[in-house]
Amino acid sequence: MKNIVILISGSGSNMAAIVRTAQQEDWARRYGARVAAVLSNKADAAGLAFARGEGIATEALDHKAFDSREAFDTALAQAVDRYEPALVVLAGFMRILTPGFVARYAGRLINIHPSLLPAFTGLNTHQRAIDAGCKVAGVTVHQVTDELDVGPILDQAVVPVLPGDTAEALATRVQAQEHVIYPRAVRAFMAALA
């Protein structure tokens, strides 16, 4: 069985979309793949309760308990490695990972970003798209490299920017597309390994 490990920091809505899709499409039978574990840097992350309810292993490592980013990433990698991942999925994991962590999972570490990369890397993407007068915005699934939000693009979805849009309204429409393309990108990755 090829294991998927998902890292979250909050509600885990993208993680939940991946888990539900894996169950509905029977990835275990079709691709020999399963979501093996969900890890978080916050013990109170709501997504951990969802994962436990689905019978998925969970762990929480508080990044504040470590002296440095490197020390946290070393402990995180040890936790991830316990599940022998074929793929590590960042799904709302709100930590910038160290180059050592990224290198350890090179080619099998993916992230989702709420813009049409290469536009609007970093934060506040929805407001920045509105402020720039964009007619469309969207979401990108990409491989993670040691440069923030610039890895190879795996999938994208376009969302219109509507007249009078707020960042919150645009974010809601973008997130609906996230829940479509992130499971699709993970499925494609696992199917390629099958």
Choice among 63, 113, 126, 142 that is catalytic: 113
In the annotation, is 113 catalytic? Answer: yes
Provide the pairing of β-strand 109-113 with 33-40: unpaired
The answer to whether residues 73 and 98 touch, using CB atoms and an 8 Å cutoff, is yes
Which residue's structure tokens are 């969302």?
A: 159
Q: Which residues face 7 on adjacent strands?
A: 39, 90
The encoded tokens of residue 173 equal 């429409």
- With H, G, I as helix, E, B as strand and everything else as coil, classify residue 88: strand
Compute CA distances 186 → 41, 84, 87, whole Å. 22, 17, 8
Residue 107's Cβ-count burial label (10 Å; 0-12, 13-18, 19+) is exposed
The answer to whether residues 7 and 42 touch, using CB atoms and an 8 Å cutoff, is no
Catalytic residue ranges: 113
